[in-house]
Amino acid sequence: MKQMLRMSDNADIHELEQETYRYSMQDGLAEILIGLILVTSTVVIEDFPRHGYFLWLIVLMIPIWEKLRRKFTYPRIGFVKVRQDEPSRPGMAVLLLVMAILVVVPITWVLIPSDSPIYDTLWRYLPVAFGVMMILPSYFLVEKTGDRRYYAFGLLTVITGLIFALLEFEPPRAGPVLYLHGWGVAIILVGLTTFIRFIRKCPLIEPDEVEASEQ
Amino acid sequence: MAQLYVIESADFIFLMRRTQLTWGNLSSHMSKLETAGYIKVEKEFVDKKPHTILALTEKGKAAFRSYRKVMQKVLNEIPK
């Protein structure tokens, strides 16, 4: 009866979708990827003219991530392509806010001379901007997984961003570098722990079973 | 079908894990659904190994929605 109720209720269909998304992302590899992107971006920030090419490394990480999922994840829990729905209205609002920050901050940086006092202020408040941008992925994850704990992630990134803005760093760019590095390492560690637990919890499907089904 | 309804596509391993059915059982169900035109089956090779991807067709989605409506009506008519 419960199963029948589940399948007839719109809310439970949505719950099933969220459960499926949580299931598909249980390997921890996404967290490792995001952590690596954050850590790599600190190299770019430290000296963009010399290390700007590291941005290509970030782009290359995505196909590497997919290869890792093919090797470790899909043979254990199977392959699934989740639906890509249109973002909700609040989601669109958050997305637009992040896009605005991504446009305004670099333009402001280019326009302001490096010997201007505002330049150092920008570096100082960059962690806050990053923290606000992290609200987008945290909101997206709550929508997709149904797990409201991801709101805590967004809140923490903003709070730690504010804390870093209040601290004095010499040079000023050390603040955002430390912030991104710290978050990147923390997220990588979470991802690695999740990955190890995943490998232990989900054994590989026996090749014989797969071949039998494919015939 | 509920599981296929909420995603775009999936392979056998995924459906087996999620439905807790055996290979044989799942294979049998999928064959019937394919015959009815409710799912489409695509076979490909990944690293020289056969790989089957399943997805609900539009007919399958409509059938599932219709089933859900009927079930909701039945459940609503059950006295409390």
Residues A56-83 pLDDT 10s: 777 788 889 889 998 999 989 999 988 8
Which tokens is A206 given? 């026996």
Which tokens is A180 given? 């991104």
Task: Judge whether residue A185 has pLDDT over 90.
Answer: yes
Q: A204: which DSSP letter? A: P
CB atoms within 10 A of CB A14: 12
Q: Does A210 contact B14 at a Cβ distance shorter than 8 Å?
A: no
Q: How far apart are CA B53 and CA B43, in angstroms?
A: 6
- Out of B14, B23, B68, closest to residue A209 by CB: B23
Which tokens is A77 given? 């829990």
Mean pLDDT of the region A23-36: 91
Q: Does B8 contact A4 at a Cβ distance shorter than 8 Å?
A: no
Whole-number average pLDDT of chain A: 81
Lowest mean pLDDT among A12-16, A51-55, A64-68, B14-18: A51-55
Task: Judge whether residue A209 has pLDDT over 80.
Answer: no
**Band (A10; pLDDT cuts 50, 70, 90):** low
Q: How large is the C-alpha radius of gyration of chain B?
A: 15
Angle at B33 between CA B71 and CA A9, to 5 degrees: 25
Predicted complex ipTM: 0.82
Q: How far apart are CA A210 and CA B45, in angstroms?
A: 13
Task: Judge whether residue A46 has pLDDT over 80.
Answer: no
Residues of chain B with pLDDT under 50: none
At A29 the pLDDT is: 93
More confident residue, A41 or A19: A19
C-alpha to C-alpha distances, B33 to A190, A212, B6, B15, B56, nearest whole angstrom: 41, 19, 16, 14, 9
Segment A107-163, tens digit of pLDDT: 776 677 767 777 778 888 888 988 888 888 888 888 888 888 889 998 999 999 999
Most B-contacting residue of A8, A27, A144 (CB-CB within 10 A), to test interface: A8
Lowest mean pLDDT among A24-28, A103-107, B13-17: A103-107
Find the largest Cα–Cα distance for chain A. Answer: 71
Whether the CB of B15 is below 8 Å from some CB of chain A: the reply is: yes
Collect all residues of chain A within an 8 Å Cβ-Cβ radius of residue B72: 8-9
**Is residue A141 packed enough to be buried (19+ CB in 10 Å), middle (13-18) or exposed (0-12)?**
buried
At A97 the pLDDT is: 74
CB atoms within 10 A of CB A40: 18
DSSP string, B10-76: EEHHHHHHHHT--HHHHHHHHHHHHHTTSEEEEEEEETTEEEEEEEE-HHHHHHHHHHHHHHHHHHH
CB interface of B with A, residues 20-59, below 8 Å? 23, 26-27, 43, 46-47, 49-53
